[in-house]
Structure 1
Amino acid sequence: MNAPDPFDPKVRRRNRAMLVVIAALFLGSLVVAGALRFSGWRPAGLKNHGELLDPPGDLRTLSPVLADGKRYAWQPIDRTWRIAVVAPRECGDDCMKLARDVDTVWQLFGKDADRVHVLWLCASTPCVYPERAPRPATLRLVQPSAELRGNLPRANAAGGSPVYVIDPNGFAILRYAPGSDPAGLRADLAKLLKLK
């Protein structure tokens, strides 16, 4: 009876090399993923255009008063998102452009537009909205409230009118600096509207 031949050294080296390559691919991908994660890199589709507020502005306990004197309720069960515009005291060309931009963003939501309220946070009484600006169907004029503005991070910063996204529960989660591109607001809110 013939004894089995020992492994061919060439085959053994080739198998070991293949095992080293597989281990290097596996461990190398883990190292690259870890490096990307800890460097702060995120895929473009996961980035938001607005500033993520941490901690978010908590408006749940506030009950804003509308221009007609009625209270605005947050009603989380309705899953309504809000675009809150901190309006300036006097509405000039920048204010008019902002009102048009917000209306355009609102209209682009199409069938989901009813799930987005536009809150125009007035700076003075009587509450004024630009006369020649289009009015979204879900526009709500909110009477001046120092407490409401105080719970919105950097709402009174100089340089224009910031815009906020408020979630259905009443948390201000995103802030857009004055003069921000409205396309970023639309993109961020479109992603949020897909959440159930």
Structure 2
Amino acid sequence: MNDPSPASRRASRIKLLLVAAVFAMPLLVAMILSLAGWQPGTRSHGDPILPQRSFAKIDIRLADGKTYAWKDSEPRMTLLALPGSDCMDNCMRLLHLMSNARVTLNKNADRLRLLYVGEPPHGPKAAAVMQDWQVGSDVEQKLASFRPRGPDSVAAILVESNGTALTLYRAGFDPNGLKKDLQKVIR
């Protein structure tokens, strides 16, 4: 039997260690970056709602008199729009862009419900803008702290299918950032 020399065994071990290092290096780099607090693609364009709270017991009365069911029969999220006073051109433009963001979800668009809580906008463009939105009112004014103070503005809240409020998009938010967040969350 041909016994390998110590030099060839050493060379074989070095090659084995190099191959193992090639596979282990990305894992090691990922672990170091994660421990340092850097995680790609996890940043939201809105602000997290902390401490987390459930909207499940907030009474939203819909236009038909029924109460909005936060917990749906299917796992569907809710994009809640809260207008400031006098929802006019800017507010309606943002509502339209939020509705379009839902459309960009393609086959998953039905996994997002649109809920507008407040006095609905009026005017010639309002009917077209509001066609995709359910309109309701906050009976006990429990959402008042999230509502923008300025006129012709709107804030949005993304609510999980179990009623947990996830992210607040304050008045003046970037609708493209909201669209990107929706595309990450709803798959």
Structure-2-length-normalised TM-score: 0.76
Corresponding residue of 2:137: 143
Q: For 1:65, what is the secondary structure of its paired residue?
A: strand
The 2-side partners of 1:130 and 1:182 are apart by 22
Indicate whether 1:42 and 2:42 are aligned.
no
Identity of aligned residues (%): 27
The answer for unaligned runs of 5 or more in structure 1 is none
Indicate whether 1:11 and 2:3 are aligned.
no
Corresponding residue of 1:81: 77
The 1-side partners of 2:2 and 2:105 are apart by 73
Indicate whether 1:188 and 2:184 are aligned.
no
1:106 touches 1:136 (CA, 8 Å); kept in 2?
Answer: no
Structure-1-length-normalised TM-score: 0.73
Which segment drifts farther, 164-173 or 10-19? 10-19
Aligned length: 183
Corresponding residue of 1:21: 18
The 1-side partners of 2:157 and 2:62 are apart by 18
CA-based RMSD: 3.0
Which residue of 120, 129, 132 maps to 1:128?
Answer: 120
1:59 touches 1:148 (CA, 8 Å); kept in 2?
Answer: no
Structure 1 residues 130, 113: CA separation in 2 closer, same or farther (over 3 Å shift)? farther
- CA-to-aligned-CA distance 1:28-54 (integer Å, 9 cap, x gap): 33421211111232333x554333434
The answer for unaligned runs of 5 or more in structure 2 is none
1:60 touches 1:74 (CA, 8 Å); kept in 2?
Answer: yes
Structure 1 residues 76, 70: CA separation in 2 closer, same or farther (over 3 Å shift)? closer
- CA-to-aligned-CA distance 1:128-179 (integer Å, 9 cap, x gap): 32432333444122224554315xxx61465653211112221111222322
The Cα of 1:10 is off from its aligned counterpart by 2.9
